[in-house]
Structure 1
């Protein structure tokens, strides 16, 4: 679970499809207001099954 800091954060969200093309997971990257990676840990977190998948942006 992503509990880097209290409050709201800007994040890049990417769906990760399974082998059959259905939704399998979600990759999240926390960002600063200028769009660079945030200076808090963890910067990246996942929900669901992302092993072997690819987030297409």
Structure 2
């Protein structure tokens, strides 16, 4: 396996059904913050990893 294949990130598409009012509120908050939904989700994953690593260490 070459180096590029070893470092390639895997991705998957996530879809869900959500209440329209909640969706609209979330989109408004994200827009007001000057962000895009992908950036918000990526940051949530980063925070989750940090929390998981902290839990493992304690």
- TM, length-normalised to structure 1: 0.22
Bigger strand fraction = 1
Bigger helix fraction = 2
Q: Using CA pairs below 8 Å that are at least 6 residues apart, which structure has the higher relative contact order? A: 1
